[in-house]
Amino acid sequence: MRRIQAGSALSAFGLGFTVPFLYIYVAYTRDLGTTAGGLVIGVFALAALIALPFVGRVIDRRGPKPVVVGASVVASLGALAFGMSTNTVTVMLSAALLGAGTAVAQPALATMIVWATDARGRTRAFAFQFFLQNVGLGIGGLIGGLIVDKSRPSTFTLLFGIESVMFLVLAAIILSVRLTRPAPAPGAMDQGGKPAGLKVLLRDKAMVKLLVLGFILFFAVYGQFESGLSAYGTEAAGIEPSMFGTALAANTAVIGIAQFVILKYVDRYKRTRVIAAVGLIWAVAWAIAGYAGLGATSQAMATAAFISTYALFGLGEAMLAPTVAPLVVDLAPESMVGQYNSAFALVKQLALALGPAIGGPMGAALHAPYIVTFVLFSLAITVLAARLGRMLTPVQNQPSLAAPPSRVVARYEPPVEKVGTAA
């Protein structure tokens, strides 16, 4: 498990090195224009959307290990090609390779965590993965920001080269991991003895509702970080661009601090209640953002309110890490874990693609409707989580209710003496 987590953190570190600077690299460093800079982000997401529908069955049939290794090699080639690309065609091809490789690796890594843990340890394993990925992204972005110089292509070539090496290191680490494949669950195989497909997943009403909930979760917050929220903050609240870095730092700091505190208590509550609480917290966060942009307040108060919004989003993210991903796994039959993880990853990518496209124009021009829309989306999270809770078994909703395995090997029973009566 330690090697899986280390590999996951290294891949996040590599992504943090380059992803924040893709637009600058393409549009300005390679002088391909702002249109190409915008398209490269779209291609990055589109490649993930194309690859993810097929990867789940491969994970379930071949296992997650070869999928992670193959995806890491593809991502490594994409990163290396990115650093040497000088025209629009090679940049787009590189973005496709990098986007597909990184997207495919995620559900496969999640499946490896499932194979390496039991139901009771899964919550902490996924929470720790989320924490390490955030740390990796943050450190990678920080170091990358110190190295890059948009007037010097060689600095970007260095970054992409380091990212390429990080993906190869991930592949090497995963190759060293030995895992035992769980036995298939009854009813999860088709007549040919192969893992059941999409029909089984779509008949799982709880999973379908969780997919809808997941889309709203990622659309309502994660999909707004890149464009909608920053556009709203700039246009409506007059936030200085430099303050967005401070706000993101506050978001990351809250995640880092809250993650381990939350882990001490999250097992005591039903997962759907924790998710419902996230919806309420995010609704408050959006209301504070509304106050920052629409309220008659000083610039200093507006900036403080905006930073608080990002901090509250971070608190919600820390609460989701030990609840949503393990719930996806616990709903899946043993032979369909890869397909369930891939379906959830696909919904996530779709939300992250649509979020900026819809939220960006709204945040820039329709200030009040933008805030109202996402307050309502946040409240919808609470409602959907409450309804999902009624569709789960008690153990699915709160794994701590499962009886721990007995450690008693044998119990000493003193012999019973037969006392006879005197004749």
Q: In a 10 Å sphere around its CB, with 0-12 CB exposed, 13-18 middle and 19+ buried, how is residue 201 labelled?
A: buried
Distance between CA atoms of residues 195 and 292, nearest Å: 51
Residue 212, pLDDT > 90, answer yes
Q: Looking at residues 344-351, what average pLDDT do you find? A: 88
Q: Looking at residues 344-349, what average pLDDT do you find? A: 88
Q: What is the pLDDT of residues 37-82, one digit of tens each?
A: 778 877 887 888 888 888 888 888 888 889 999 999 999 999 999 8
Rg, the chain, Cα only = 24
Q: What is the pLDDT of residues 321-342, one digit of tens each?
A: 888 888 888 888 877 888 888 8
Q: What is the pLDDT of residues 291-318, one digit of tens each?
A: 888 766 678 888 888 889 989 998 998 8
User: In terms of Cα–Cα distance, which of 161, 144, 149 is closest to 79?
Assistant: 161
User: In terms of Cα–Cα distance, which of 359, 114, 108, 118 is closest to 225?
Assistant: 359
Residue type, 329: V
pTM for this prediction: 0.78
Q: Maximum Cα–Cα distance for the chain, whole Å?
A: 113
Instruction: Tell whether the torsion through CA atoms of 320, 97, 114 and 57 is positive or negative.
Output: positive
Distance between CA atoms of residues 242 and 260, nearest Å: 29
Q: 393 vs 83, 214, 271, 364, CA distance in Å?
A: 50, 19, 11, 44
- Tokens representing 353 are 């693609």
Q: What is the pLDDT of residues 370-412, one digit of tens each?
A: 999 999 999 999 999 999 999 998 888 888 777 554 444 333 3
Percent over 90 (pLDDT), the chain: 20
* Close Cβ partners of 106 (under 8 Å, ≥ 6 residues apart): 341, 345
Neighbours of 61 (CB within 10 A): 11
- Tokens representing 291 are 């106050």
DSSP string, 203-230: H-HHHHHHHHHHHHHIIIIIHHHTTHHH
Mean pLDDT of the chain: 81
- The helix/strand/coil state of 195 is strand
